[in-house]
Copies of this chain bind each other. A is one copy, B any other.
Amino acid sequence: MSLIVQKFGGTSVGSIERIENVARKVISTKAQGNDVIVVVSAMAGETDRLKALADEVGADSSSDHQREIDVLLSTGEQVSIALLSMMLKKLGCRARSYTGGQIRILTDDAHTKARIQEIDTEKIGSDLAADKVVVVAGFQGVDSSGNITTFGRGASDLTAVAIAGVMAAAECRIYTDVDGVYTTDPNVVEGARCLESLTFEEMLELASLGSKVLHTRAVELASKYKLPIRVLSSFNESPGTLITSEEELDMERPMISGIAMTRDEAKLTVLGVDDVPGIAHKILGPISAANIEVDMIVQNVAADNSTDFTFTVARADYEKSMDILKKVAKDIEAREFTGDNKIAKLSLVGVGMRSHAGVASKMFETLADESINIQMISTSEIKISVVIAEKYLELAARALHSKFDLSAIADSEQE
């Protein structure tokens, strides 16, 4: 008998009819001889409704208000666990609901962005032993003083993976409204294909780059536990995408798994500054002090011993960053500074890159063939990212998807 954790998001529990659909999936998993723990989010729209109430009150970001935001938002998942448990019982399946606090998902006291420290396995274990399905509210826990905490938006994934981890589950299944993880955005590239499998590292690169299928912290945690995650649809029977350790995927991996796109960035460049130690800190220090997060950073040394320095920030921070840079450029006597918020980032991701040479040059060649100018390049072990003009993003994605043959099922995935 295996233990399976199943997590259903807000869309999957968005109505009583859909909750019945969820209950049937749970019962079917149980009927296959598994123990089942279910983690659910708030019904679609509920968290927004509650946030709107808090906004109407005029809640601010003080810690006192954040404590009450958690008391408020955590009710959304509590409604879902009660309804799903009732539905399971009505369909003849023994079940029992738990809030984060009841099962004692112990967290730190950082309200609205708490981190899990410990999970009490006693109640879960004894309910499973009594042949009950355990239904747990996602997204929430309690601190050591018994205050309700939440983990931030979309973090029910994290609850599911954490519980699956401590209970040593065989698999954690994350049900969504898509069929799984795609090679790239199907809205942009017609031939985009649902992947059969991915490594944790690939998923992390794809998630952080805008494929919002899985919560990043959940993937990190699964990777730590070496816990296989399966992303699949609530609304059909397709097998979805398995995300696991590279060693579990013992077939040869395809060179490239997917193409990620990000549109919400902006680029800032300081031209002609002295190439001396400390210059990067002088430029980025004030940006960081303003709580602006920097993504890509590129610096090139020119022949005249001066340097050009470019970095990207979230597009929402563009104006603020330009204001800061204006002062900084003057202080460090830069020749000039420029900015561009009409850029986009495109990344190729794949663990196969490690053993395949020539991925980068093939990428650059493809873009050149389409006359797309590359403005910045950044690479990691399993990823190559380029910044290009936003208007070319879709063209680039289609060309690369085709060139790297991502629409075809790879040999390794046919087995």
Which residue numbers of A lie inside 8 Å of B, CB to CB? Answer: 16, 19, 50, 53-54, 56-60, 62, 64-65, 67-69, 71-72, 74-75, 78-79, 81-83, 85-87, 89-90, 94, 96-97, 99, 101-102, 146-148
Contact = CB atoms under 8 A, between A and B. Distances in A.
A99 B58 CA distance: 22
Which 3 residue pairs of A and B lie closest in terms of their CB atoms, listed nearest first?
A72-B82, A75-B75, A71-B82
A222 to B, nearest CB: 28
Contact of A82 (B16, B68, B99, B102): B68
A297 to B, nearest CB: 40
A56 B86 CA distance: 11
A198 to B, nearest CB: 36
Contacts of A102: 146-148
Contact of A57 (B67, B74, B87, B99): B87
A191 to B, nearest CB: 42
A34 to B, nearest CB: 21
19 contacts: A19-B57, A53-B83, A57-B90, A59-B86, A59-B90, A64-B94, A65-B90, A68-B85, A68-B86, A69-B82, A71-B81, A71-B85, A72-B79, A75-B78, A75-B79, A78-B78, A99-B148, A101-B101, A102-B146
Nearest to A64: B89
Given A16-B57, A60-B90, A72-B82, 10 more contacts: A16-B56, A50-B79, A53-B83, A54-B86, A59-B90, A65-B90, A69-B82, A71-B99, A74-B78, A75-B79
Contacts of A86: 54, 57-59, 65, 68-69, 72
Nearest to A52: B16
Contacts of A75: 75, 78-79
Contacts of A62: 89
B83 A54 contact: yes
Contact of A90 (B58, B78, B90, B99): B58
A103 to B, nearest CB: 9
Nearest to A75: B75
A338 to B, nearest CB: 43
A71 B81 CA distance: 8
Contact of A53 (B79, B101, B146, B147): B79
Contacts of A65: 86, 89-90
A45 to B, nearest CB: 13
Contacts of A147: 102
Contacts of A68: 82-83, 85-86, 89, 97
A71 B59 CA distance: 26
Nearest to A132: B64
Nearest to A104: B146
A58 B88 CA distance: 11
Contacts of A81: 71
Contacts of A94: 64
Contacts of A54: 82-83, 86
**Residue in A62, A74, A86, A99 with the greatest tally of chain B CB atoms within 10 Å:** A86
Nearest to A58: B90
A53 B72 CA distance: 19
Contacts of A148: 99, 102
A21 to B, nearest CB: 13
Nearest to A103: B146
In the complex, which of the residues A19, A56, A62, A147 has the most CB atoms of chain B within 10 Å of its own CB atom?
A: A56
A51 to B, nearest CB: 12
Contacts of A78: 71-72, 74-75, 78
Contacts of A82: 54, 68-69, 71-72
A54 B16 CA distance: 9
A102 B89 CA distance: 27
Given A16-B57, A57-B90, A97 B79 contact: no
